[in-house]
């Protein structure tokens, strides 16, 4: 699956079976379910999950909490548009 396939999958009611963990959190975030995305990212217990967790708190407007999660994920704090960061993280996770 590549970024285009992932974005196209958002037209479906449910995520593709092969999408899980941090990537699943981003899928639900794109569908407008921040709470579900946050719960999945928090439960992922991985650097990838921490990275998504950071993005979600930045989206929420909680910069301090986001900074903590960026640090745990060993990722620099992102300062661009949220949509740009979402695409960056999805692309990186699809390569793993």
Mind listing the pLDDT tens digit for each residue in 35-62? 999 999 999 989 999 999 999 999 999 9
From CA 50, how far away is CA 54, in angstroms rounded?
6
Residue 11, CA distances (Å) to 49, 68, 74 in order: 23, 33, 32
Q: Is 73's pLDDT higher than 90?
A: yes
Q: Is 8's pLDDT higher than 90?
A: yes
Selection from 48, 49, 68 nearest residue 58 by Cα = 68
Residue 70, CA distances (Å) to 12, 42, 44, 58, 95 in order: 30, 13, 15, 10, 20
% of the chain residues with pLDDT over 70: 100
Mean pLDDT of the chain: 96
pLDDT digits (tens, 9 = 90+) for 12-39: 999 999 999 999 999 999 999 999 999 9
């Amino acid at each position: 699956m590549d970024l285009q396939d992932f974005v196209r999958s958002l037209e479906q009611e449910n995520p593709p079976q092969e999408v899980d963990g941090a990537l699943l959190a981003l899928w639900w975030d794109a569908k407008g379910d921040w709470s579900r995305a946050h719960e999945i990212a928090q439960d992922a217990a991985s650097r990838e999950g921490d990275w998504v967790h950071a993005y979600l708190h930045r989206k929420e407007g909680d910069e301090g909490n986001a900074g903590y999660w960026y640090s745990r994920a060993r990722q620099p704090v992102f300062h661009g548009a949220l949509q740009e960061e979402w695409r960056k993280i999805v692309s990186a996770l699809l390569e793993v």
